[in-house]
Amino acid sequence: MQTMSGRRSIVPVLIVLAMAQVIGWGTIGLLAIVGRQVAADLKMGIAAVFAGNSILYVAMGLCAPILAKAFIGYGARRVMIAGTALGALGFVGLALSNGPVMYFAAWVILGAAGSATLSTAAYIALNEIAGRGAKSAIGALMLVTGLSSSIFWPTTAFLSNAVNWRATCLIYAAAMVLVCLPLYAFGLPRHVKTVDVIPPVADATTTNKSIDKHAFYLITAALSLNAFITIGFSAILVELLRAEGSPPADAVAFGSCLGVIQVSARAVDFLGGGRWDGIATGLFAGTALPLSMIVLLAGGGALWSVAAFILLYGLSSGALAVARATIPLVFYDKAAYATAASQIALPLNLISAAASPILVSLLTYYSKNAVLVLAIVLSCIALLILLMLARRRPSLIPAVTQ
């Protein structure tokens, strides 16, 4: 059970990670604002410019398993410092791009940097300190990082209008060096090898290697299927609502409400603390996700169905973001979490890269119903897998209690 002093000791780390994660995710999302400027400047098609996001996720996914040993051997602090320096180099490369080759190379660098600094790295850092007790800390972190686009989209718009997109990239490179790097260097504790601090009885998974392996495949499948939907929908949501008959202004307004609802879902999970684990969160979200699609499909574009869809989808996608980080905590101890999280990140990021182009194509060349039916089928399969995972919960679950 985590003591009050343990709770207090993690607060400074949470503040450091929250600030750095908001900056990290906010800055790499700049294409949502400056994509058309980049396309015009580099004389590239808008689709090719936005392919930078796909390259980012592919690079993040491919680098994640490679970095697993570094996280275990050197600790999250050192890996995140190195990744931040690499991120600064990526933004400088982006600013200096003169064509597709250098542009895409910069996104590869940013993807490698993101693998070392964003989300999974932050969860590993919290897990180093709190072990399975990191669930509440991860939930608290997500309350803040979920607002990164709300903070940085207007920031990027202001900077790109005041100067230009290249200067904006250089400003973000400076933010990596002058803000994020010192935060990680001076705000995170030095690495303590988990083998020295974890009692043998805390390992609930190594007693049966087959359960460990099967659980890993089930976790990866469930999270990947749900990630395909939520990440893909983040790119097509406004267009999907317009296809449902919503006026453009209403579609944007509904889309703007989504972020607040997602953060609210994360807040509910956070307030739940130790009363439920990552699988319980996943089951709630996994049930609400297909239900949201069914409501939208059955409503035929009626205002009530769009509003109900936004509410259900926002709650489910927000809770799923928490579940992606916390479900592995149910099955893996501190020593195994870094490896498991890094390996799970590979398919998750590859799915992230593929989801948007596939769903955009379905919406463009077929219909909105094809998108919704696919989402219902995949989310129902994911829910069945989560139910299978629930039956495989390790017996030493009390370690989750705060």
Angle at 262 between CA 361 and CA 220, to 5 degrees: 65
**CA distances to 183, 214, 240, 293 from 245, in Å:** 46, 44, 9, 16
354-359 long-range contacts, CB within 8 A, separation 24+: 354/54, 354/228, 355/227, 355/228, 355/229, 355/231, 355/232, 355/235, 356/53, 356/54, 356/231, 356/232, 356/234, 356/235, 356/236, 357/54, 358/232, 359/232, 359/233, 359/235, 359/236
Q: Are 318 and 264 in contact (CB under 8 A)?
A: yes
Phi, psi of 230 (to 5 degrees): -70, -40
Q: How many Å apart are CA 303 and CA 172, to the nearest integer?
A: 40
What architecture is the 203-393 domain classified under in CATH? Up-down Bundle (1.20)
pLDDT in tens, 46-78: 778 878 888 998 898 889 888 888 888 888 999
DSSP state of 188: S
Range from 156-160, 219-223, 331-335, 380-384 carrying the lowest mean pLDDT:
331-335
Helix 303-331 to helix 209-243 angle, to the nearest 10 degrees? 160
Q: Other CB atoms closer than 10 Å to residue 149's CB: what's the count?
A: 18
Does position 26 have pLDDT exceeding 60, yes or no? yes
Tens digits of per-residue pLDDT, 385-396?
999 988 877 754
Q: Which DSSP helix (H) or strand (E) runs through 11? A: helix 4-28
Backbone angles phi, psi at 297, to 5 degrees: -65, -40
Looking at 203-333, list the stretches that DSSP marks H as alpha helix, in order from N- to C-terminal side: 209-243, 248-272, 278-299, 303-331
Cβ atoms of residues 126 and 134 within 8 Å = yes
Higher-pLDDT residue of 271, 144: 144
- DSSP reduced 3-state for 3: coil
Distance CA 225, CA 235 (A): 16
- Residue 208: helix, strand or coil by DSSP? coil
**40-76 per-residue burial string, b: 16 or more CB within 10 A, e: under 16:** eebebeeeebbbbbbbbbbbbbbbbeebbebbbeebb
Q: What's the pLDDT band for 197 if we cut at 50, 70, 90?
A: very low
Q: What is the mean pLDDT of residues 147-153?
A: 76
Question: How confident is the model at residue 185, as a pLDDT?
Answer: 94
| Higher-pLDDT residue of 6, 124 | 124
Lowest mean pLDDT among 25-34, 211-220, 270-279: 270-279
Pick the CATH number of 4-191 from 1.20.1250.20, 1.20.1440.230, 3.40.720.10, 3.40.50.1980: 1.20.1250.20
Residue 121 tokens, joined: 């790295």
With a cut of 80, say whether residue 306 has pLDDT above it.
yes
Domain boundaries for CATH 1.20.1250.20 within the chain: 4-191, 203-393
How far apart, in Å, do the first and last CA atoms of the chain sit? Answer: 5
Whether 203 shows a pLDDT value over 60: the answer reads no
Rounded Cα–Cα distance for residues 300 and 284 (Å):
25
pLDDT category of residue 379 using cuts at 50, 70 and 90: very high
